[in-house]
Amino acid sequence: MSALKIKKGTSRHSAYDLRDPHAEAPETHTLAVLVDNEAGVLARVIGLFSGRGYNIDSLTVAEVDHTGHTSRITIVTTGTPSIIEQIKAQLGRIVPVHEVHDLTVEGRSVERELALFKVAGEGDKRVEALRLADIFRANVVDSTLGSFVFEITGTPEKVDAFADLMRPLGLVEVARTGVAALSRGAQG
């Protein structure tokens, strides 16, 4: 037994992990921000994150109301609960922002992502790529004698799993849209 009373091989923690065990743990949150569709709004929102050193894991934006000229920005970010609250409060203070929703804490939500995968291979690897694409319900959107382009829609975890399986089969290139999310239920 060591001086720290830790039996050899029983600790899952590193001896060099100097983080405060009582500190808040980082969490991943999906934020939906309804904004005016005008020049510079996205830059202001992104500037809030970069100016304070917050990271954006995923970002999607599109106009959702043509007559009202409003867009929806969906941001996936990671931070401690207090940082997430600070981000939401600061987003709410930006003038063209109408609403900020934290889909992670407001209840259940549906998250989907679209991705395109280019996989090059021949013979058995080509057949295996097609078989896995069928299991994942990925569509072949382009095919040549030496490659496929697959389109897959699903949760970010499903897209990650598909990528992991395609790497040894000849994954050449990946394009991902980022997360689009809506809360479940009748309320908006």
Assess if residue 47 is contained within a domain.
yes
Q: Which domain holds residue 143?
A: 109-183
Using only C-alpha atoms, the chain has a radius of gyration, in whole angstroms, of 22
- Place 4 in a pLDDT band, splitting at 50, 70 and 90: low
Q: What is the 3-state secondary structure (H, E, C) of 139-166?
A: EEEEECCCEEEEEEEECHHHHHHHHHHH
Q: What per-residue confidence (pLDDT) applies to 19?
A: 60
Q: How many structural domains comprise the chain?
A: 2
Max CA pair span of the chain: 71
Average of per-residue pLDDT across 17-32: 79
pLDDT score, position 15:
55
Same domain, 78 and 57: yes
Domain membership flag for residue 21: no
| 6 vs 133, more confident | 133
Q: What's the confidence (pLDDT) of residue 3? A: 54
- Mean pLDDT computed over 120-141: 96
Give one word for 100, left, alpha or beta, with left for phi > 0 and alpha for psi -120 to 50: beta
Model confidence over 63-110: pLDDT tens digits? 999 999 999 999 999 999 999 999 999 999 998 999 999 999 998 899
Q: Are residues 113 and 95 in the same domain?
A: no
- pLDDT (0 to 100) of residue 173: 96
pLDDT 10s digits, 141-179: 999 999 999 999 999 999 999 999 999 999 999 999 999
Same domain as 134, residue 94:
no
d(CA 58, CA 21): 28
Q: Are residues 34 and 53 in the same domain?
A: yes
Domain at 43, CATH number: 3.30.70.260
Quick one: pLDDT band at residue 23, thresholds 50, 70, 90? confident
Please report which confidence band the pLDDT of residue 10 belongs to, taking 50, 70 and 90 as the band edges: very low
| Alpha-carbon gap, residue 171 to 165, rounded angstroms | 9
